[in-house]
Amino acid sequence: AQKITQTQPGMFVQEKEAVTLDCTYDTSDPSYGLFWYKQPSSGEMIFLIYQGSYDQQNATEGRYSLNFQKARKSANLVISASQLGDSAMYFCAMSLAAGGTSYGKLTFGQGTILTVHP
Amino acid sequence: EAEVAQSPRYKITEKSQAVAFWCDPISGHATLYWYRQILGQGPELLVQFQDESVVDDSQLPKDRFSAERLKGVDSTLKIQPAELGDSAMYLCASSLVASGDEQYFGPGTRLTVT
């Protein structure tokens, strides 16, 4: 069974600074996807970035980048130039790609609360 | 921009009462997911549909929970009877196919059982 671990319950960052949110994963399946979602206090899950297990380059989406280290089974999210609106809960998640034993569903970590200070 | 719709957004019910949640996925999305998120934790899958068929309901408490997607479009999740431990956010998500593709989430239904 797959597992996602986020070891940072809370993180603080100064506005305009960069911050890294840690995520490690465990699966024996070679084909999987890694996701980061943002959940503001309103509750909606907002997709940020995706990394496929066979992707050679780290994914980037605007101010978000994913530091994918396959051998270490880590998929850390880097937010550059933090903004006050980035304050939220952040979840790392994994799904097995088509052909896996339980493909499609997302397995989430426990989340990291990010607080951006002015 | 297409969105996943859910209703109600908030629901307060008494223990032992029945409660139902509705989800309308993005048009054309064959795969629909219901997740439960207890406060302070990550969401956990309750049930996954591919069109009108259940693909995974291994974590659904079937003695009190039921889910259906009769025409392969919108879906209803029901709890009967509700228990105090059911207080949580219920999130619906959809994707084009059941793969490693992105899932789009609705706004959720926040349930409080008193």
**How many residues are recorded in chain B?**
114
Question: How many beta-carbon pairs under 8 angstroms link A with B?
Answer: 76
By Cβ distance, the residue of B89, B100, B102 closest to A47 is B102
Sign (positive or negative) of CA dihedral B104, B36, A11, A6: negative
CA pair distance B26, B105, nearest whole angstrom = 10
- Predicted pLDDT of residue A100: 47
Interchain proximity B35–A106, CB inside 8 Å: yes
Q: Does residue B28 sit at the A interface (CB-CB below 8 Å)?
A: no
Neighbours of B66 (CB within 10 A): 16
- Predicted pLDDT of residue A101: 45
B95 versus B4: the higher-pLDDT residue is B4
pLDDT at B18 over 70: yes
CA pair distance B33, B93, nearest whole angstrom = 5
Q: Which amino acid is at A66?
A: L
pLDDT class for B64, splitting at 50, 70, 90? very high
CA distances from A117 to A15, A62, A65, A83, A86 (A): 6, 21, 21, 9, 10
pLDDT class for A99, splitting at 50, 70, 90? low
